[in-house]
Amino acid sequence: MDKKYQPFEERIVYQIYPLSFSDSNNDGIGDINGIIQKLDYLKDLGIGIIWLSPIYKSPLKDNGYDISDYYDINPLFGTMEDFDNLIKEAKKRDIYIVMDLVINHTSNEHPWFKEALSDPSSKYRKYYYFEKGKGKKRPPNNWTSTFSGGAWEKIENEDNMYYLHLFSKEQIDLNYHSEELIEEIEKILKFWLEKGVYGFRCDVINRIYKSSLKNGRFRLYEIGREHYINQDENYKILERLQNNVLKKYGAFLVGETFAINYEDGKKFKETGALDMFFEFDHAFSDQNKIVPVFKKKFKPKNLINPVLSWIEEIGWMANYLENHDQRRSVSRYGDEEHFYNLSAKALATFLLSLRGTPFIYQGEEIGMNDDKDMKYEDVNDVSAIGVTNYLMKLLHLSKEKAFKLVNETTNRDHARTPMQRNKDINAGFNNGTKPWLKINESYKKGINVEDEYKVEDSILNYYKKMIHFRNNDDVLKHGSFKRIKSNKNVAKFIREYEGNKYLVVINLSNKKIKDIREDKEILISNYENHSLNILNEYEAIIYKL
Ligand code: NOJ
């Protein structure tokens, strides 16, 4: 490997949502041993890094994004021995493990919070935000929670006392004004790095520092945000974690940074606080940014422009089209009805030819789609349930109507249905025990690993081809990036490295588009035949210039 580059610039990341990846003990819930069993699959696919969504001890109110013990594994997923084994087995295959670090909040079942709640004089009180209400009935400020409703919960046994939760009321915000808390976080980082993890994906990391608890400006979503998003001290805390711990291990850090602009993003890079970060602008290409449950007609330019602009501005991005919080990309940005495979492959070409580190979410590589038949009763997502109930109250909607709004926009369970491995019972996720979340029936129509392996031009085989191509290609891995003016539905750019130049052209629409190109060598495409004047629907081509 060229020493000039960090491993993360050389490698492709695959995100595993452990609950839904592979259930080895047939209890309905995915587990660590299930992941170990599938490492050869990931190796074959060409994956170099696994990002594991949380596997720590947790009551799973938000499926692990509510940690009750940072030093232990949730018994539903296995034991610490299983985890050590995962690290060992992954290492054998030259795959690195990245943990999910959820340090904006803990579960209400974390011993720190339990003690803080039962004993107001406890030192842990300072780890959180406990505040007196305003007057007799009002919470300390007007902030609202990302998951709907107010951001303060009143404590039962105390007079007029509240605690802060920016997410569900079981996810209690930590207070980064506390020196002792930051020391605890340093200990946690060390613990996992000593075990051999490669780094962390940091959950909502640009909101850990609240610089004031003043009322927020009125807005329809996340009132109070200006007091906690991208605050100066937030960068300083990360820099401190980098200097005291992370750099010593050469640890990799990718941040989830919701509501970020170019200036904030540059600061994260320049201060060295994060190696890279996820932006969310493109994730609003089919939903309203102010009120995300309002659907917006998808236009390819609203995906292409933000993604390319962020790369132009920042240089190296954490690129993704899906994760456990987003609906499936073929359903959002592709055309399931008329161009299922072609559109999924065009999206694959897009993701894997951009400058930056590509993040593939489990199931994306086989073109898993949203489950259109999902009912309110099927849903587990704490946010989808909370927002549905909130809309029912706020807009006086029936449950069906409220859920429809959520289901077509922000219902995260579309991405969380169990991984589809074959046509057997439960799509081969396990041996027949009812899974924790309803299976998407599309596995019966061939959207599963086993069937797609057998079909030469399947989505899976295309991903594999694209991934291996990139893994062995310096231009795509390290090359510079230059956008070329084109039709609004077409992503067109040049990648260049040491004199080698590629032209990437991707039609992300379901229409034919006039586009004139020279006759050059084609390195990869999702079509067999090409015209030099027209791009077919979802046609994607990488040319060597
Ligand atoms: C972002 C995570 O990706 C999401 O799943 C979670 O609900 C929130 N942060 C709160 O931790």
* Cα of 106 from ligand 1 centre, angstroms: 12
Q: What is the Cα–Cα distance from 207 to 526, expressed in whole angstroms? A: 40
Quote the ligand 1 centre to 191 CA distance (angstroms).
22
3-state secondary structure of 152: strand
* Alpha carbon distance 155, 149 (integer Å): 16
What is the per-residue DSSP string for 27-78?
SSS--HHHHHHTHHHHHHHT--EEEEPP-EE---TTTTSS-SEEEEE-TTT-
Give the residue-averaged pLDDT of 227-249. Answer: 97
Rounded CA-CA distance 455/222 in Å is 46
> In the prediction, which pLDDT does 5 show?
80
Token output for 496: 């260049």
Q: Does the CB atom of residue 66 touch ligand 1 within 6 A? A: no
Catalytic position from the list 222, 256, 370, 452: 256
Ligand 1 centroid to Cα of residue 465, in Å, is: 32
The per-residue pLDDT for 6 is: 86
Nearest CA to ligand 1 atom 8: 65
pLDDT of the residue at 2: 41
Task: Look at the pTM and tell me if it is higher than 0.85.
Answer: yes
Give the model confidence (pLDDT) of 143-200 as tens digits: 999 998 999 999 998 999 999 999 999 999 999 999 999 999 999 999 999 999 999 9
Asked whether 258 lines ligand 1 (CB < 6 A), one says: no
- Ligand 1 test: best mutation among 16, 19, 53, 65, most atoms within 8 Å of CB? 65
φ, ψ dihedrals at 52, nearest 5° = -95, 120
Q: What is the pLDDT of residue 93?
A: 98
* Atom number of ligand 1 nearest to Cα 147: 7
pLDDT, mean of residues 500-506: 98
Cβ of residue 62 lying under 6 Å from some atom of ligand 1: yes
Within 10 A of 444 (CB to CB), how many other CB atoms are there?
Answer: 13
Ligand 1 centroid to 474 CA: how many Å? 34
Distance (Å, whole) CA 242 – CA 199:
11
**Mean pLDDT of all residues in 506-510:** 98
Residue 420 has pLDDT above 50, yes or no: yes
Summarize pLDDT for 39-97 with one digit per residue, the tens. 999 999 999 999 999 999 999 999 999 999 999 999 999 999 999 999 999 999 999 99
Atom of ligand 1 nearest to the CA of 323: 3
Q: Is the CB of 203 under 6 A from ligand 1?
A: yes
CA of 99 to the centre of ligand 1 (A): 14
* pLDDT score at 1: 35
Q: Which of 321, 298, 320, 341 is nearest to 537 (CA)?
A: 341
| CA angle (476 as vertex; 474, 480 as ends), nearest 5 | 90
- Token readout for 87 is 């690290």
Dihedral angle over CA of 406, 407, 409, 413, nearest 10: 110
- Ligand 1: residue of 167, 171, 174, 200 to mutate (most ligand atoms within 8 A of CB) is 167
Is 203 an active-site residue?
Answer: yes
Q: Catalytic: 264? A: no
Does the pLDDT at position 220 exceed 90?
Answer: no
Mutate to test the pocket of ligand 1, among 68, 102, 165, 381 (most ligand atoms within 8 A of CB): 102
Distance 255 CA to ligand 1 centre (A): 12
Q: How far is ligand 1, taken at its centre, from the CA of residue 451, in Å?
A: 32
pLDDT digits (tens, 9 = 90+) for 263-300: 999 999 999 999 999 999 999 999 998 899 999 999 99
- In this structure, the residue with its CA closest to atom 11 of ligand 1 is 65
